[in-house]
Structure 1
Amino acid sequence: MSAQFISIHPDNPQVRFVKQICQILRDGGVAVLPTDSAYALCCMLEQKSAMERIARIRQVDKHHNFTLLCRDLSEISTYAKVDNTVFRLLKNNTPGAYTFILPATKEVPRRLMNEKKKTIGIRVPDNAILSAILDELDEPLMSSTLILPERELAESDPVSINDEIGSITDLIVDGGVLTPNPTTVIVFEDSVPNIARYGAGDTTPFE
């Protein structure tokens, strides 16, 4: 069985398609969705079997750090501990191509957080399709950048993604060919930002 392939307008996503995508996710599906940095494998937080499928597709172990895709700052504060200093930095730099590593709250399932540090990676992506999906779902998605085994770059072309993994995913959302820029990763330790990876997001505010 092959994945559903939905081509959607990149700037004004059609509501009927957004609802269709969300239903597949709610039903436990593994979806390939566009972000502001490349395509990502996504599923709902409570869907443990979907998460395990994503790990198999990526060929990563149980220690792989997944990232929560959030709509906005208020959603971030449900899943991560954010003080006033961190909040201001996030407010000024979201949405955008950043992954923020923050201390996780009790709302985050243990299987999603870093075992030793009890942290979680969180993003507010700047992509109209993904924003519409997150608004409709009214909760975050779990995600992992779509980097296929033995490859270094994230996948950016939905047609070739369909050829490669259409048979082992439930949905591929075509948001056009993207530029595979990785996110800038910012780790907060005691509210102090440290740049762990330089990527698409401007690092100036965190230096």
Structure 2
Amino acid sequence: MKVETDDGAMPAHLWLPETGRGPGILLVQEIFGVSAYIRRRAADLAALGYVVLAPEIFWRLGVSEVATGPDMLDEALAVAGRADWDLAVADATAALSALRERAEVDAGVGVVGFCFGGGLAYAVAAGSPVDALVSYYGSALPSLIEAVPAIEAPSLHHFGDADTYIPPETVEKIRVSVSTGGPVELHVHPGAGHAFDNDDFVAHHAEASAAAWSITERWLASTLPAA
């Protein structure tokens, strides 16, 4: 499907739950794009009863996803370095609006993001009302909390204590900052580094991934329940 923006149509991918209806979740990609991993997580969320929309945030660069392989991180960083952050926020916000307007969405709408998408999801929630936010190791959060200290929506954050991009002292600053807004849960997973949930990436940490996803399922069921 396509999401209309001020500059054209952005490709996006839609998953429906078995019932065909439910709360909406905007799923915001990592720097690897709408990859096989992101599509698997979208299917997981749909299986929980959510209508899931994953926009291709790098569409302006002509990139849908970065191929899995030994050079995937370097290639993805190069793509992300060319992306315009403000346009990415605007595009993700347009996707949120498009999701909210879909006939299949019969309840609230949340945002779930990973890495690059974890920060982008936070920025979207700061500018538009959402009912829930789940951010996995949001790479932009250290800078975002200076401009947007907290959001009103309930939020869940996951980090790893071995993350060299977001070290423990930075996670603690994030915890303090986001706790001034809506209800917050923040979990730090032992032994996990950045991108620990991505099972197509070398940093995947199976134990942390399973624990974090179990928490996410429980938190979503409480905060944005699906029938």
Q: TM-score, normalised by structure 1?
A: 0.33
Q: Which has the higher contact order (CA 8 A, sep 6+)?
A: 1
Q: TM-score, normalised by structure 2?
A: 0.31
